[in-house]
Structure 1
Amino acid sequence: MGISIRAYGRQRGVSDAAVRKAIKAGRITPAPDGTIDPAKADAQWAANTDTSQQRKAQAQRAVPVEAVNTVREATGEAALPSGGTTLLQARTANEVLKAQTAKVRLARLKGELVDRAKALAHVFKLARAERDAWLNWPARVSSQMAAELGVDAHALHVLLEREVRRHLDELGDVAPRVD
């Protein structure tokens, strides 16, 4: 069992009309019997009230993170980090995140960023073309080299092809790191 709307308003430092308005707007929820659980209501008030919409500047009250997280989990929102985070700190973190997101969008629009999937596909295509060029190299040069050295062309072709494949296998063991 909680306290009355008027008692909660006095405890919160607002009028009972402000509490009724918060209930009507859905920012806080009363118990089924119409009373208010102060801890739950404080957490809901902090999580669901935009301080920029307040008529007079009020000092930021620190709300226990656990109380805010209980409300956020009930509404499906991500929990705030623990460690005494105030609502002001959480909103500041949110604004910083919005600014970083806007910065990334702007960089993408300016063409300063590339799509990771496209870049990986392009590098893969270049590496495959390089590998194919090396695999075709012994067939192109083995007969010319055999004539200059005076050796069997087929034997030289087989030797070059084997060594090129061994070298490519060694290069293929390197795992690319894309961070």
Structure 2
Amino acid sequence: MPETVSKRAFADLIGVTQGRVSQMIKAGLPVEPNARIHVAKGRAWVRDNIDTNRRRASLGEDDDLRAPTPRSTRDAAEAEIALLKAGRLAGNLIDRKATLRTIETRARQERDAWIGWVNRAAPELARLPAGDLAAMVAALDRLVRDQLAALAAMPLDGLDHD
């Protein structure tokens, strides 16, 4: 990029009209004796003298001219909300509170099922011969597997099943 540019080229560079550059020159934008604008000095002047809400383009990647305005922040938030609503309507998102309630309900059901399992398993284990470890392990294995199968078959309350 050349060190100096014409008024039109500077306008294109910073994303404003040529008339706006003329206004900036009247306000003090430095101009070289040959009526060209020194790019680095011009950018520095714009950064230091032009309200960020009136800047329409970046004057360079190292210049911090892209500070969010209240309007751009609001627009970004509204866009994000719209995406979330669309995701929920499409069935891609679930409600966090409802999900937590479902998980808590399921955890209580499983806890209660295991507590009840002890009462169902104890009589069967009592019928086994005393000291027969192999029979005890086999019975416990079968009873636990049956309990796990029953838990797996238990529906998740509060969730739609497809």
TM value normalised by structure 2: 0.40
Larger Rg: 2
